[in-house]
Amino acid sequence: TKWVYGFGGGRAEGRADMKNLLGGKGANLAEMSNLGIPVPPGFTISTEVCTYYYQNGETYPDTLRDEVMAALAKIEETLGRRFGSVEDPLLVSVRSGARASMPGMMDTILNLGLNDQSVEGLARRANDARFAYDSYRRFIQMYSDVVLEIDHHNFEEILDEAKEDKGVTQDTELDAEDWKKVIARYKDKVADLLGKPFPQDVHEQLWGAIGAVFGSWMNQRAIRYRQLNDIPESWGTAVNVQAMVFGNMGNDCSTGVCFTRNPSTGDNEFYGEFLVNAQGEDVVAGIRTPQQITILGKEAQRSTLPAMEECQPEVFKELNAIRHKLEAHYRDMQDMEFTVQQGRLWMLQTRTGKRTTKAALKIAVDMAREGLITRKEAIRRIDPVSLDQLLHPTLDPKAPRTLLTRALPASPGAAAGKVVFTAEEAEAWVNDKKEKVILVRVETSPEDIGGMHVSEGILTTRGGMTSHAAVVARGMGTPCVAGAGDIRIDTAAKIMRVAGKEIREGDVITLDGSTGEVFLGAVPTIQPEMTGDFATLMEWVDTIRTLKVRANAETPLDAATARKFGAEGIGLCRTEHMFFDPKRIIAMREMILADNEEGRRAALAKLLPFQRQDFIELFEIMRGLPVTIRLLDPPLHEFLPHTEAEIAEVAREAGVEPELVRSRNAALHEANPMLGHRGCRLGITYPEIYEMQARAIFEAAVHVSRETGRSVVPEVMIPLVGARKELDLLKAAIDKEAQAVFAEQNYAVHYTVGTMIELPRAALLAGEIAETAAFFSFGTNDLTQTTFGMSRDDSGPFIGVYRARGIYERDPFASLDQAGVGELIRIAAERGRATRPGLKLGICGEHGGDPASIAFCQKAGLDYVSCSPYRVPIARLAAAQAAL
């Protein structure tokens, strides 16, 4: 096996498509090298070494040492410098690089190869002793922290004392002689704590760093990040060893991060930030406020510093050419890191850039129009679930507000929440107190990842658009305002001060991550408009997909939202949801608690007009699209009165003694209501309930059809059917009611009667059931519950353990269990269609909005999926991807 792959000097042994082996960073460094883009020479130790390392008691393959030495010799040859040399030393960086980017989660060591001798060589070559000794002390600090596991506060103390002794406050005020003294004290400290000296042997340094990077694959941060992002542990990381270039050798040096297009808006403009005379990590750390690469309208007005375009036009020209070359080559927006050493540009990284959903849409649509990619590729590139970000509210422009400050719009969207000042507090408030929080920090670091994840929004007082907070928030789709320098945070007292106000932990603020504004209190929000690139992509999507997308909706608001999002009908109207209104619940309770048919009919007569009006509104909103109305389904106890006052109220309404109500209440108690007296069993035992609902449906249908002249397409759906006989009886009753209404009104409409498939028995006997049912809708919530024998309401506590232990990969209530529940669906579809070839098939469980489940539905030959209104666009896109 080959373990090490070299790159640099216009050649490379790797390629971009070798990510699994070389990690993202290594593969792309090789690719850039092959493209003739200036990359400091180096080599990548493959992810297979990581796998070997963990499978063999943290040891390396036998031949690794020789391969590393040979690759190192190549770098020396390319640059004409020697590792550990006293004359002109080669210094290297050692970095992790996994298949998927894990920003800041693993270890990095810079300036490796410095020791008491080579530091002098560096000083001579750079003609700058201060720079050389500063680099050496940084290296000792970093190496000690990462490899020797000596806490960095030890070094900070020494540094603070050195500044105090000299009577200065800034690091920059220390000269070479001061740094030499600091270094001596650093080394003493290491020897003290470690019982042996800081390693002077550069090869020992190199192997220590390689081991630390492989070791960091298993640190807590990295493990947590992998869990949050579904990255398998088995992938492992590669290690990249690369010649150092310096962005901190003077004012003709710089370092920065840039994107080929704007990652926030998607605009086709060169977007990035850099710092003059700085080292790589300084940009991402957000410690200094960076300069822009290009003059961009709004940003330029904000920034008082010149853009690279203005102050380093030559470098800018070269960088801009590389931008175009890389984007054309990768055919996607790139996120690049670079360093300029003494006027010479070096590329340190390129990768597919993270972007907001808004930007992703714009970039995909623009690139398809530019001819860089096809429309199908554009569709494939958008993660359906990410559309959710666009469907979220923005601030109501008319709402009053109190502006606290304005800073960088680091991640779009609006959010309100209670202020907390640490990531731990954020997790505690959200998990324990069930509060919504805004995390306010000076800057964030990878340790804050858990707290950032649970926060509604993130506000930082330092750092730019590429600071840790900004990058991570954009990835999570969490609104973020960064670099709010006006805000003073007193973490100890848990107070922030801004605009003459004091805001304490627990006070509410609102962030607008699209404008960078921060407001006091909660500002009302409004729904977004579905226009522009979103609408364009959705048009393309609709030409590709074959699955129809409907919505689960019962209120006029939900139905209207569903239409706005492109729903092609209602796939599930849960009629029981219509009875929780205070005006109706009493009549509902009266109906349930009546102990005879007469009492039930009296109560149902009160409900009929309400129900009819509900359906009139739905039919009107859906304008000729199909509306699947499910007759009453839930266990009756859900409607029972709970308090004495409620019992008294029902008794009064029904004109009976409270005692009677109480005893009926007790009689209706069920040990296992989900498997009890519910669904079509209600229709079988109390036929008058479904009769009333059927009457309401047909009266409404006749009314709307007559008034509007449009066709109305009611699909009457029976829940929880397990036997064909159930359906036969109920369909007969429904047909009878329809005929009665049509005769009374002297007007008929077309309708169908179908069933839900929610029980394994129904799936297996689908052939018989299809003789009566005109359509099937898979109720996969119940079908999952009944197939697994696992309560949909009570599985939360153990399903997490099941997933953690690898028994089930995903929660089967969130993503369809294709092997088990899916098999029942395949069987039911096949047997149903064998009986009735044109049988219409749909799904209306939660899975109807889950992209993986939608792909399954496509394969199983379903006609439509139905999901909650907000997921309709997600389902449309997922359906198109499934059809590609």
Residues 189, 158 contacting (CB under 8 angstroms): yes
Computed over its alpha carbons, how large is the radius of gyration of the chain? 33
CB of 413 to Mg ion, least distance (A): 33
Q: 202-216 and 47-55 are packed helices; what angle lies between their axes, rounded to 10 degrees? A: 80
DSSP 3-state of 262: coil
End-to-end, the C-alpha distance of the chain in Å comes to 38
**Residue with smaller CB distance to Mg ion, 159 or 717:** 717
User: Using the rule CB under 6 A, which residue among 28, 780, 786, 853 binds ligand PEP?
Assistant: 780
- Of 89-97, 149-157, 159-167, 779-787, the window that binds ligand PEP (rule: CB under 6 A) is 779-787
Q: Which residue is nearest to Mg ion (CB)?
A: 782
Q: Which stretch binds ligand PEP (CB under 6 A): 236-244, 651-659, 773-781, 801-809?
A: 773-781
Residues 137 and 116: beta-carbon distance below 8 Å: no
Which is nearer to ligand PEP, 606 or 826 (by Cβ)? 826
CB atoms within 10 A of CB 838: 8
Q: Which of 468, 480, 847, 867 is catalytic?
A: 468
Q: Which of 104, 679 has the CB closer to ligand PEP? A: 679
Task: Residue 572: name its binding partner from Mg ion, ligand PEP, none (Cβ under 5 to 8 Å by kind).
Answer: ligand PEP
To the nearest whole angstrom, how small is the minimum distance from the Cβ of residue 853 to ligand PEP? 12
Residues that bind ligand PEP (rule: CB under 6 A) add up to a total of 10
Would you say the C-alpha torsion 836, 837, 840, 844 has a positive or negative sign? positive
Which of 199, 566, 779, 851 binds Mg ion (CB under 5 A)? It is 779
Minimum CB distance to Mg ion, residue 578 (Å): 16
Exposure pattern of 98-124 as b/e (b: 16+ CB <10 Å)?
Answer: bbebbebbbbbbbbbbbbeebbbbbbe
Q: How far is CA 814 from CA 406, 697, 785, 817, 855, in A?
A: 39, 32, 12, 9, 14
Question: Minimum distance between the CB of residue 667 and ligand PEP, rounded to whole angstroms?
Answer: 24
Q: How far is CA 303 from CA 264, 336, 380, 470, 634, in A?
A: 18, 22, 37, 18, 60
Burial zone of 29 (CB within 10 Å; 0-12 exposed, 13-18 middle, 19+ buried): buried
Distances (CA, A) of 731 to 573, 574, 608: 18, 18, 20
Considering 258, 680, 844, 867, which one is annotated as catalytic?
A: 844
Which CB sits closer to Mg ion, 451 or 779?
779
715 is an interface residue for ligand PEP by CB under 6 A: no
Of 389, 358, 396, the C-alpha closest to 519 is 396
Site string for ligand PEP, 633-652 (x = CB under 6 A): x-------------------
Quick one: which of 183, 336, 523, 844 contacts ligand PEP (CB under 6 A)? 844
Q: How far, CA to CA in Å, does 610 sit from each of 33, 171, 390, 559? A: 71, 75, 35, 17
CB of residue 831 to Mg ion, shortest distance in Å: 20
Q: Which stretch binds Mg ion (CB under 5 A): 346-354, 383-391, 479-487, 758-766?
A: 758-766
Q: How far apart are CA 372 and CA 428, in angstroms?
A: 47
Q: Are 665 and 593 contacting, i.e. CB atoms less than 8 angstroms apart?
A: yes
727-766 binders of ligand PEP (CB under 6 A):
758
DSSP secondary structure string for all residues of 837-876: TT-EEEE-SGGGG-HHHHHHHHHHT-SEEEE-GGGHHHHH
| Shortest reach from residue 866's CB to ligand PEP, in Å | 8
By a kind-dependent CB cut-off of 5 to 8 A, residue 85 interacts, out of Mg ion, ligand PEP, none, with none
Q: Which stretches does DSSP call E strand in 115-221?
A: none
Please tell me whether residue 219 binds ligand PEP under the rule CB under 6 A.
no
Establish whether 844 is a catalytic residue.
Answer: yes
Q: Which CB, 48 or 811, lies closer to ligand PEP?
A: 811
The set of residues, in sequence order, having a beta carbon less than 8 Å from that of 254 and lying 6+ positions away, is 247, 274, 275, 276, 277, 278, 308, 312, 315, 339, 340
Q: Single out the residue of 845, 851, 869, 873 in contact with ligand PEP (rule: CB under 6 A).
A: 845
The answer to whether the beta carbons of residues 832 and 766 sit under 8 Å apart is yes
Strand segments (E) across 745-863: 752-757, 775-778, 840-843
Q: Give, for 588, the enclosing helix (H) or strand (E).
A: helix 582-593
779 is a site residue for ligand PEP (CB under 6 A): yes
* 634 contributes a contact to Mg ion by CB under 5 A: no
Q: Encoding tokens for residue 153?
A: 């506060």
Out of 67, 145, 337, 782, the residue judged to bind Mg ion by CB under 5 A: 782
- Shortest distance, CB of residue 686 to ligand PEP, whole angstroms? 19
Instruction: Select from 215-223, 244-252, 349-357, 776-784 the region that touches ligand PEP (CB under 6 A).
Output: 776-784
Query: Given the structure tokens 């499910």, which residue do they identify?
Result: 630
Q: Is 846 in the site for Mg ion (CB under 5 A)?
A: no
State the nearest-atom distance from the C-beta of 554 to ligand PEP, in Å. Answer: 11
Instruction: Give min distance, CB of 414 to ligand PEP, in A.
Output: 31
Closer to Mg ion at the Cβ: 345 or 632? 632
Question: What is the C-alpha separation between 194 and 72, in angstroms, rounded?
Answer: 29
Q: Tell me how far apart the alpha carbons of residues 784 and 856 are, in angstroms, rounded to a whole number.
A: 15
Measured from the CB atom, the residue of 641 and 719 that comes closer to Mg ion is 719
Distance of closest approach, residue 726 Cβ to ligand PEP, in angstroms: 16
Binders of ligand PEP in range 539-598 (CB under 6 A): 572, 574
Q: Which is nearer to ligand PEP, 244 or 720 (CB)?
A: 720
User: Catalytic residue at 258?
Assistant: no
Using CA atoms, how far apart are residues 183 and 662, in angstroms rounded to an integer?
Answer: 83
Output 337 or 758, the one with its CB closest to ligand PEP: 758
Choice between 452 and 816, CB closer to ligand PEP: 816
Q: Does 782 bind ligand PEP (CB under 6 A)?
A: yes
Among ligand PEP, Mg ion, none, residue 780 binds (CB under 5-8 Å by kind): ligand PEP
Residues near Mg ion (CB under 5 A): 758, 779, 782
Active site residues: 468, 844
Residues near ligand PEP (CB under 6 A): 572, 574, 633, 758, 779-782, 844-845
